[in-house]
Amino acid sequence: MARICEVCDKKPLTGKQVARRGISKKAGGIGLKTTGITTRRFLPNLQSIRASVNGGVRIMRVCTKCIKAGKVVKAPIRRHIPVKAS
C-alpha cells in the first residue's frame, strides 16, 4: 500500500541530509566543510481512520492535515448493546 493521502494525494518527498565538520566562521573558525551528502525521504503523517463515505463506512489512509481541516467525516463509534432476553 502506497504512502499517499486518499483525500489530498500528499506523497513522500525527497531531500538531502548534509553532514558537516568544523567551526563556522561566525564562531571564529575557518568555516564548515561538507563531508557527505545523503538522500532522505520526508514521509506524510498518515493515519488509518474509519470514515463515512457515500452513506457507508470505509477505512481510509488520510494525512493529519486533512483530518484537522475537517475534509474527512469520522464514522460514529460502534457500541455493543446487549439484547435483553424476555
- Do the Cβ atoms of 5 and 63 come closer than 8 Å? yes
Q: What is the average pLDDT score of the chain?
A: 94
pLDDT average, residue stretch 9-26 = 96
How many CB atoms sit inside 10 A of residue 72's CB? 21
pLDDT of residue 61: 97
Check whether domain 13-69 has CATH 2.20.150.30, yes or no: yes
Domain boundaries, the chain: 13-69
pLDDT of residue 83: 86
How many CB atoms sit inside 10 A of residue 66's CB? 20
- What pTM did the predictor assign? 0.71
pLDDT of residue 42: 97
Give the C-alpha separation, 50 to 27, whole Å. Answer: 52
